[in-house]
Amino acid sequence: MKFTLASVLGAFAFTAAMQSAQAADVTLRLHQLLPAQAAIPAKGLVPWAEKIEKESGGRIKIQHFPAMQLGGKPPDLYDQAKDGVVDVIWTVLGYTPGRFPKTEAFELPFMSGSAEASSKAFMEYVQKNAMDEFKDVKLIAVHTHGPGLFHSKDPINKLEDLKGMKVRGGSRVINIMLEQLGATPVGMPVPAVGEALSKGVIAATTIPWEVVPSLKVQQIVKNHTGFSGEKGLYTQTFTVAMNKASYDKLPADLKKIIDANSGIEVAGKLGKVMDDADKLGLSLAQKAGNNIVTLDAAETARWQRAANGVRAVWFKEVGDKGMDGPRLAAEAEALIDKYSKK
């Protein structure tokens, strides 16, 4: 069989054309702070991206860059989306203190429990009350983690055990709470927690069970203290956000796909990932034979009373900015109650 130069070139041209036809129309870069194997990336963000790719028939491709691979530090992520350094981010809202004052209602002590219910509530709350805080991005979803607790080198069996203890706090509101409870708050992003515990920079950390596996916290500390009832001591809030220009330049049919993969349903799915991962983190601590404490109802009530002052501080702060803190907190509680009953 003979091949002419023309036939060979024609074959190359056909192959190139086929590859071009199959190539994505749009490639979006998703940047976030956790390692790829952590729960939210592996069970939340990657399935979300794959769903969009499938529904777009491959016209949208989402490249995932975990663990700050594209540079910067975790507090930079929101601005990376806003400024178009990347196309999509997942981050912790509390890493940029004071930027999202209305969303902080969900961080108040003993506000929420189940991450799935709280995340749906949080999404509806933001849509009703705080979209102005996300005006610089295309908001995909917000969500929360499950009940917050302590992981410590020394046991925490009562409120007094926290006095003077250096404890990592993940947000401005959580740090205010730690201070009011008698601890010495030390702010840092979650990727730094493992090393800080190992080196004795902190004696305890506030993270949900969900984070324990990726940081191997159950190997670093042997004490874990939670609270009676369905609600945790604290909550952190998160967002998936997209650069506005990256969204605006999409054709209408691809915008619809992004829109269909945004909102309360997505928030709930991300919350469920957190709830499921909490079970895994707890099981690892149990397998390690660690000391797992659930404070009884009477001791939990003492912590609730001690933490009440956080609300007064927050009410005054947001009130000085012209916001009705009591109304926002009441609405957050009502929405959490609404979705918890579903």
- Looking at residue 4, what is its pLDDT? 53
pLDDT at 251: 98
pLDDT for residue 265: 98
The architecture that CATH gives domain 24-146+236-277 is 3-Layer(aba) Sandwich (3.40)
Question: In which residue ranges of the chain is pLDDT below 70?
Answer: 1-22
Per-residue confidence (pLDDT) for residue 22, from 0 to 100: 54
Query: Where in the chain are all domains bearing CATH 3.40.190.170?
Result: 24-146+236-277, 150-234+289-322
Give the tens place of pLDDT for each residue, 93-145: 999 999 999 999 999 999 999 999 999 999 999 999 999 999 999 999 999 99
Task: Give me the CATH topology for the region 150-234+289-322.
Answer: D-Maltodextrin-Binding Protein; domain 2 (3.40.190)
Q: What residues contact 317, with CB distance under 8 A and at least 6 apart?
A: 101, 325
pLDDT number for residue 8 = 47
